[in-house]
Structures are given as structure tokens and as C-alpha cells.
């Protein structure tokens, strides 16, 4: 599933084509994705100008001139594809089609249909079921070592599971949790409550660094992920631990084989020597 860097990359790719543009055509080609569309979905979007496009956690938010907000979640395989002019032929899994007054067409293509689209208003957005309770954005000033330490205090789960808890910090998924823990030198097995002080400072910094580098690289291409322009992200070539079971640790003075364990049904990759 796309994580924060992939969603941020898609959002930035879409912004030049959608911000300030009016939607002159909205086509809903099925009644639902992961959940049903709002009954008045196409009517509320058609004719509206998009005044801002931004990301919250793993969601893309399009703010419209009347105060409506289009919420988009890519799910497992969702892609937003851009073409100049109407596509000659729509694909089977093009479930929502948008067109702007500049004849730019955006197709939401989702073969597995784990993605979602919904509508809210600026006033109700924070309380929407997809966004309510989300933790701080990791790349913002609202996320720091002390803030992370306070969120982890008293948590009896492993730190890896805590990082995946969107109430602790928003947008981090399995890949970047593994990478950040490795950079911070923290074992994924460590009790979350014990990540305090300098450990929390190291981890917060590692999270910010890993996410920033991944965004700069256009995200990580795993299975179905593509950027908005169809190009592949390439941060996966910079993985230090993720999906590298049995390969040597990249720390020069270590070199031990990296290990894999399953936590909460997800693979965790780590170095038993470098991460404590």
C-alpha cells in the first residue's frame, strides 16, 4: 500500500494540473470502491474549482471553492493517471474520471478497489471517519522527539507496531518504519514505552530523514505503485534493511546478515547487532 512519500509524490504531481482548475466533467463508473460513493458525488464536484490540493497522512485532499473537500485514498493499487485530452478508450478499472476546463483528464484506476473517495466540508474534515484521530504529520514541526516520547509513554507494544499506529504519527507504513528504526539503531522488538529521551530524538529524526529522501526519490515502487505521471519511484534502490533478509548489513563495521520477523502479520527487517 502506498505510504506517505508515495502519496505526497502523487499529490505534488497532480497539483499543477488541478489547483486553480475547474472540473467540467465528473464521471462515476461504478457505485462503490472500498465503500459506496456519496449519493450526490458527481453533482457536488461538477463545475467546482479546486483551490488547493494537499496531503494528510496517506490521503489526498482537494479543497473546492464552495468549501467541499474531496478525500482520496489510493488503497492497495489505486492510481491517478493524467492525460491531455480525453483518453481514446477508458480502461476496465478506470472507476472515476475527472476533466478540467483545460481538457486535462484525470482517471482514478484501481484494479483491487481497496481505494476510496468521499466528500466532506472544511468544517467537518477533521472529524471525518477516515481522518479522525490521526497523529501529527511527521514532516511538520508538530512531530519531534519529545512529542513522540509522550505518545509512546505507557505503550506496551513493540516500537515497530507503535510507529504503524496512525494515532501516534500519521502516514508511516511498514517500509519506512523498518528503515527509520534501522537508522535510529532501535530494535523493532523494543517496548514502545522505553523509547524516550535520546532514543525518541534519534527515531523522530530518522523518520523525517527517511521520508524526505523517499519523497525526493519519487517514492518506492512495489507492486502497483506509480507516480501521477506514470513513472516509477526509485527509493527502493536505497533500502538499507527492507526486503533484504539474508543480505549483509550496510554498516561497514557490522556486515551481519539481516533478519526478518513477522509482527502483527507484517514482515519486519532489521539488524540484530546494530539495532538495540
Q: Give the CATH number of the domain where residue 193 resides.
A: 1.10.8.50
- The pLDDT score that the predictor gives to residue 266 is 94
Residue range 111-136: mean pLDDT, rounded: 96
Same domain, 19 and 119: yes
Let me know: does 45 contact 120? Beta carbons within 8 Å.
Answer: no
Same domain, 35 and 73: yes
Higher-pLDDT residue of 195 and 83 is 195
- The pLDDT score that the predictor gives to residue 203 is 98
Task: Please enumerate in sequence order all residues whose Cβ is within 8 A of that of 37, keeping only pairs 6 or more positions apart, or say none.
Answer: 28, 31, 117, 118
Residue 56, SS3? Answer: strand
Place of cell 525518541: 200
Same domain, 161 and 230: yes
Higher-pLDDT residue of 234 and 77 is 77
- The pLDDT score that the predictor gives to residue 230 is 52
Taking CA atoms, 142 is separated from 86, 136, 145, 147, 170, in Å, by 42, 6, 10, 8, 11
**228 pLDDT tier (thresholds 50, 70, 90):** low
Q: Of 93, 127, 161, which residue sits at a domain end? A: 127
Residue range 2-26: mean pLDDT, rounded: 92
Residue 158, SS3? Answer: strand
Same domain, 21 and 91: yes
Characterize the bridge pairing of strands 94-100 and 50-56. Answer: unpaired
Q: Give the CATH number of the domain where residue 121 resides.
A: 3.20.190.10
Same domain, 108 and 168: no
- In terms of pTM, does the model score above 0.95? no
Same domain, 114 and 179: no
Q: Which residues are catalytic?
A: 2-3, 58, 266
Same domain, 150 and 118: no
Q: Of 71, 96, 127, which residue sits at a domain end? A: 127
Q: Domain for residue 138, yes or no? A: no
Same domain, 39 and 154: no
Q: Is the pLDDT assigned to residue 5 strictly greater than 70?
A: yes
Q: Domain for residue 216, yes or no? A: yes
Task: Please enumerate in sequence order all residues whose Cβ is within 8 A of that of 213, keeping only pairs 6 or more positions apart, or say none.
Answer: 235, 238
Show the domain range for 155: 145-270
Same domain, 53 and 100: yes
Domain count, the chain: 2
Q: Domain for residue 136, yes or no? A: no
Distance spanning both ends of the chain, measured CA to CA: 28
Same domain, 183 and 88: no
Residue 45, SS3? Answer: helix
Amino acid at each position: 500500500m502506498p505510504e506517505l512519500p508515495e502519496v505526497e509524490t502523487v499529490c505534488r504531481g497532480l497539483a499543477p494540473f488541478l489547483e486553480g482548475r475547474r472540473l467540467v466533467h465528473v464521471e462515476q463508473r461504478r457505485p462503490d470502491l472500498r465503500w459506496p460513493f456519496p449519493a450526490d458525488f458527481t453533482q457536488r464536484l461538477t463545475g467546482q474549482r479546486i483551490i488547493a490540493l494537499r496531503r494528510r497522512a496517506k490521503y489526498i485532499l482537494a479543497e473546492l471553492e464552495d468549501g467541499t473537500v474531496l478525500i482520496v485514498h489510493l488503497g492497495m493499487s489505486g492510481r491517478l493517471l493524467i492525460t491531455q485530452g480525453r483518453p481514446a478508450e477508458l480502461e476496465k478499472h478506470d472507476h472515476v474520471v475527472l476533466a478540467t476546463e483545460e481538457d486535462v483528464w484525470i482517471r482514478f484506476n484501481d484494479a483491487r478497489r481497496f481505494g476510496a473517495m468521499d466528500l466532506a466540508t472544511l468544517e467537518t474534515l477533521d472529524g471525518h471517519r477516515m481522518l479522525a484521530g490521526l497523529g501529527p504529520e511527521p514532516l511538520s514541526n508538530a512531530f519531534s522527539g519529545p512529542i513522540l516520547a509522550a505518545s509512546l509513554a505507557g505503550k506496551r507494544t513493540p516500537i515497530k507496531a507503535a510507529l504503524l499506529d496512525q494515532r501516534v504519527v500519521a502516514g508511516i507504513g511498514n517500509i519506512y518504519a523498518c528503515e527509520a528504526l534501522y537508522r535510529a539503531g532501535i530494535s523493532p522488538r523494543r517496548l514502545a514505552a522505553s523509547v524516550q529521551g535520546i532514543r525518541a530524538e534519534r527515531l523522530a529524526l530518522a523518520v523525517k530523514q527517511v521520508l524526505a529522501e523517499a519523497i525526493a526519490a519519487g517514492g518506492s515502487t512495489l507492486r502497483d505503485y506509480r507516480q501521477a505521471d506514470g513513472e516509477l519511484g526509485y527509493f527502493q534502490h536505497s533500502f538499507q534493511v527492507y526486503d533484504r533478509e539474508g543480505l549483509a548489513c550496510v554498516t561497514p563495521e557490522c556486515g551481519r546478515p539481516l533478519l526478518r520477523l513477522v509482527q502483527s502479520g507484517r514482515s519486519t527487517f532489521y539488524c540484530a547487532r546494530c539495532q538495540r
